[in-house]
Every structure is written in C-alpha cells, then in structure tokens.
Amino acid sequence: MSQVKTVEQLRGILPEPRETTRAKILPFLDEQAIDFLRTCPFGLMATAGRDGPIEVSPKGDEPGFAHVENDRTVLLPERAGNNLAFGLQNIIETGRIGMIFLRPRTGETLRLSGRAEMFDDAELLAALGKSGRPALLAIRIHIERSYFHCARSVIRSHLWEPEHWPEAKRISFGKIFAARTGGDEDQAAKIDAFVEQGYTTNLWSNG
C-alpha cells in the first residue's frame, strides 16, 4: 500500500463533494443548528498549539450547556476537570478551535470551527453557571464554519442502540498512577476512591 501524500492522490480515491454538499457549509448557525445546540448535552473540543500539538477535550453538561450568543458566536463553559488545561493553553497560543456536538438518539452531528478566546468576566460566568455549578472560564467561539455531518458513521457504530453496547466498564486511574510511581494495590484503590469523589461529591468543583 502506498502512502497518500498529495491532494491529487486523495481525490483519486475520494471524489470532489457534490455542490449540494458544499452548500450546507455556512459561516453562521442556522435555525436547525441553534435548536440542536439548545438540546445538546455533549461535545468534543479540538484545539491546535503553536508548535503542533493537537488536543481533543470532552465537554458536557445539561442540554443547552453551549450557549448560543447569536448566530455567529457560541459561549462554552469551562467546568471543573483535571487542570491539565492543554486545550485552553492552545486557545491562548493560536485561538484555533473545532467542535463536534452529539445529541443522543440523533444520528447527525453538528460541526463548528473558527476562532476562540477565553474570559473570566463575572457576567459571562454567571450566564453560563447554575446554582452550585460554576463556570470557571467562558470560551467564546467565533464561527467560521457550521454544518451538520450526515449520520452514516453513527449508524455504522450503533452508537445510540443499547442492544449493541458493550458491558459497562470503569477505567482505573489508580492502576495507571501506581504503575508509574511504584505504588501498590492499596495506593491504587485510594486513588480510585478519590477519583470516585470527583464523579459524585466533587463533580462541580476542583476540590
């Protein structure tokens, strides 16, 4: 198998899209996109750093957590997490961002790309927060591209069909940390218990 290195080679395998396909790409949110975001609980945020590292971060909350400011800007709350902040640092460095939003039981996904900036403005944080659920930062996304992706990948993966789901599985961060620090099973269990607190009593804080 030869490596594909040119656009010409790529287009020899994947033909140019139809004009009707290109026509769906908009520089703003249309009525369906706004409605989709108002009922969407989850998205993936992709960012690029100045020196090349790409990060994809999961973002989720109650439906409508991505606040539609107007048809060209969306506000995204930054909630409590692991504090690595790789994606946030990328936003500071380049401002480039891409999002894909998923809505349960909906095959189509919404893709946004453009530029982002961050604020700790009290008014914005209040607008994005709820009682006991503070927004730590506000990410404003200036939309350059907005379009719906067709449902074929979701249909092929059976993503929203419970009868096709694997058994539930919990990842042990304790095993990961203990293996790298020379810890034992007891230490791993303590770390997993701490992580469990983050999923329950500390869900909305960095405590």
pLDDT of amino acid 118: 97
**CB burial readout 122-136, b (16+ within 10 A) else e:** eebbeebbeeebbbb
Q: Is the pLDDT of residue 45 over 90?
A: yes
DSSP letters, 136-196, are SEEEEEEEEEEEEEPSHHHHHHTTT-GGGPPPP----HHHHHHHHHT--HHHHHHHHHHHH
pTM exceeds cut of 0.85: yes
CB-based burial label for 6 (10 Å; 0-12, 13-18, 19+): exposed
Return residue ranges of the chain for CATH 2.30.110.10: 13-157
Most confident of 140-149, 166-175, 187-196: 140-149
- Quick one: pLDDT at residue 132? 66
Distance CA 115, CA 163 (A): 39
- Confidence band (pLDDT; 50, 70, 90) for 46? very high
Q: What pLDDT does 201 receive?
A: 79
- Mean of the pLDDT values across residues 120-131? 87
**Mean residue pLDDT across the chain:** 92
Q: What's the rounded mean pLDDT across residues 110-123?
A: 96
* 172: CB partners within 8 A, 6+ apart: 188, 192
Mean pLDDT of 56-66: 94
Looking at residue 207, what is its pLDDT?
53
111 exposure class (CB count in 10 Å sphere: 0-12, 13-18, 19+): middle
* Residue 134 predicted with pLDDT over 80: no
Most confident listed range (3-12, 144-153, 170-179, 183-192): 144-153
Torsion of CA 28, 114, 107, 105, to 10 degrees: -90
Q: What is the pLDDT of residue 78?
A: 94
For residues 100-127, average pLDDT: 95
User: What pLDDT sits at residue 195?
Assistant: 85
Domain 13-157, CATH class in plain words: mainly beta
